[in-house]
Amino acid sequence: MPEIPKKQKAQVIEKTGGPVEYKDIDVQQPGPDEVLVNIKYSGVCHTDLHAVNGDWPLPTKLPLVGGHEGAGIVVAKGDLVTDIEIIGLPAGAYLKAPVFESVIKMVTIKGSYVGNRKDTAEALEFYRQGVIKAPFKTVGLSELQKVYDMMHEGKIAGRYVVDTSK
């Protein structure tokens, strides 16, 4: 595994309504049942803009480093991590876990309410077939506030992706 830096650049929301602040933050070491991912690129999502603006039904936990559409590489694993598995569940699915075994193995179950595997597979197949076009523009992470401003003004057609190295 590569050497992990002590600091990283991030866009941090300190107060509801923004602005985002491009600054150094500490790199957290993974807990025993966690992995640390070096995010290389991340899609910019309206969910993050809603969190910045505080205009959705959930309270925003501050300070906030947004971004849930990241792509990167695993750079560290906790002592209890023996493999990494990503599971998507269809809408209406149920998840059951044996309490005793889950506690003994320190299993953590985390969820997201955005999309599922079938949605992703269908979208990728449509794109592969040329049925849909997905225009995107890549900008540096340091330009995130400009992207949020354009989103707020309705000036974006397609997607913006941030490159975390810029």
**Mean pLDDT for all residues in the chain:** 82
By residue range, what is the domain housing residue 43? 7-85+134-163
In a domain, 122, yes or no: no
pLDDT for 143 equals: 93
In a domain, 21, yes or no: yes
Collect all residues with Cβ–Cβ distance below 8 Å to 49 and sequence separation of at least 6: 148, 151, 152
Are 136 and 162 within 8 A, CB to CB?
A: no
pLDDT for 72 equals: 86
Q: In this model, does residue 63 exceed pLDDT 70?
A: yes
CA nearest neighbour of 67 among 22, 135, 10: 10
CA nearest neighbour of 43 among 81, 5, 70: 70
pLDDT per residue over 72-131, tens digit each? 888 888 888 887 765 555 566 666 777 777 777 777 776 655 566 677 788 888 888 999
As given in the structure block, the two tokens for residue 97 are 């876990």
What average pLDDT score do residues 40-66 get? 83
Question: What proportion of the chain, given as a percentage, has pLDDT over 90?
Answer: 19
Question: Cα separation of 25 and 12, whole Å?
Answer: 9
In a domain, 139, yes or no: yes
Structural domain tally of the chain?
1
In a domain, 81, yes or no: yes
Q: In this model, does residue 23 exceed pLDDT 90?
A: yes
CA nearest neighbour of 42 among 138, 150, 146: 138
CA gyration radius, the chain: 18
Model pTM? 0.68
Ramachandran assignment for 33, one of left (phi > 0), alpha (psi -120 to 50 degrees), beta (any other):
alpha
Domain of residue 14, CATH code? 3.90.180.10
pLDDT for 139 equals: 93
In a domain, 99, yes or no: no
Q: In this model, does residue 36 exceed pLDDT 60?
A: yes
In a domain, 106, yes or no: no
Q: How far apart are the first and last CA of the chain?
A: 23
**Range scoring the smallest mean pLDDT among 81-90, 98-107, 135-144, 154-163:** 81-90
pLDDT for 94 equals: 65
Q: In this model, does residue 151 exceed pLDDT 60?
A: yes
Are 29 and 76 within 8 A, CB to CB?
A: yes
As given in the structure block, the two tokens for residue 149 are 């401003």
In a domain, 80, yes or no: yes
Name the burial class of residue 48, with classes exposed (0-12), middle (13-18) and buried (19+) by CB atoms within 10 angstroms of its CB: buried
pLDDT for 116 equals: 65
In a domain, 121, yes or no: no
